[in-house]
């Protein structure tokens, strides 16, 4: 029986998380595995309603603590409705963002005390952590330019460069503390090359 496999994709804007998570989902399905692909914020009806609030460009006055609590409210529903039941059934779960995003964006980016971010995380997740996390890394300006190229714009994208640099530095700090779980991948290369690195790492957990 295969051990529980919970995979998260992380990174700043424009790193290709959504593309790579979908490619991995397709790859694992072809291997005959039961796989679930989901995202945060979102993943449930309630979660998507919260997502709309969080990312709407007209909500620029949202307080950082409100933002933190909304992300965690969406996550609680996501875990209860989707992630936990799937893992219990032995399904491989792939999520586009999870708790590391909250630490990076609301902790390092917004400046909310990390101990507060982590304490709320522990309440919501009960200690559940991804088995593998892929941190796709790219220069901030390149990532934002990629998203502008596909006309992607939300409240987070409207933040200044300094904010996104703090988030990227936060991700690097998180990865340095958990090198066994978090695999940092340069996402400036081709989609195929990055996918090959990711599948190579995942195969190691399937054998």
Q: Give pLDDT tens digits along the chain (207 positions).
A: 456 899 999 999 889 999 999 999 999 999 999 999 999 999 999 999 999 999 888 888 899 999 999 999 999 999 999 999 999 999 999 999 999 999 999 999 999 999 999 999 999 999 999 999 999 999 888 877 766 655 566 677 777 889 999 999 999 999 999 999 999 999 999 999 999 999 999 999 887
Quote the CA–CA distance of 107 and 22 in Å, as a whole number.
Answer: 28
Instruction: Please report which residue ranges of the chain form alpha helices under DSSP H.
Output: 17-30, 45-55, 64-78, 84-88, 99-102, 114-125, 140-149, 161-177, 191-206
pTM for this model (two decimals) = 0.92
Rounded Cα distance, 83 and 96, in Å? 12
Structure letter (DSSP) for residue 63: -
Residue carrying the six token digits 């390149």:
142
The CATH architecture annotation of domain 6-206 reads 3-Layer(aba) Sandwich (3.40)
What are the domain boundaries of the chain? 6-206
3-state SS, residue 185? strand
Q: What end-to-end distance do the CA atoms of the chain give, in Å?
A: 11
Going from the C-alpha of 185 to that of each of 2, 48, 182, the distances in angstroms are 26, 28, 10
Q: Would you list the DSSP string of 99-136?
A: HHHHIIIIIIIT---HHHHHHHHHHHHTT---SEEEEE
């Amino acid at each position: 029986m295969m051990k529980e496999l919970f995979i998260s994709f992380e990174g700043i804007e424009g790193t290709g998380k959504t593309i790579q998570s979908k490619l991995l989902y397709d790859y694992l399905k072809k291997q005959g595995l039961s796989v679930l692909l989901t995202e945060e914020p979102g993943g449930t009806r309630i979660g998507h309603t919260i997502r709309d609030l969080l990312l709407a460009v007209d909500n620029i006055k949202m307080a950082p603590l409100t933002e933190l609590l909304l992300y965690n409210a969406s996550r609680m529903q996501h875990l209860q409705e989707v992630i936990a039941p799937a893992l219990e059934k032995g399904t491989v779960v792939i999520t586009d963002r999870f708790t590391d995003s909250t630490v990076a964006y609301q902790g390092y980016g917004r400046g909310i005390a990390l101990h507060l971010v982590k304490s709320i995380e522990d309440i919501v997740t009960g200690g559940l952590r991804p088995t593998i996390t892929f941190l796709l890394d790219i220069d901030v300006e390149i990532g934002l330019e990629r998203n502008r190229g596909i006309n992607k714009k939300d409240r987070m994208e409207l933040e200044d460069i300094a904010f996104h640099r703090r988030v990227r530095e936060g991700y690097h700090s998180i990865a340095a503390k958990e090198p066994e779980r978090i695999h940092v991948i340069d996402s400036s290369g081709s989609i195929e090359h990055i996918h090959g690195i990711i599948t190579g790492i995942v195969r190691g957990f399937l054998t």
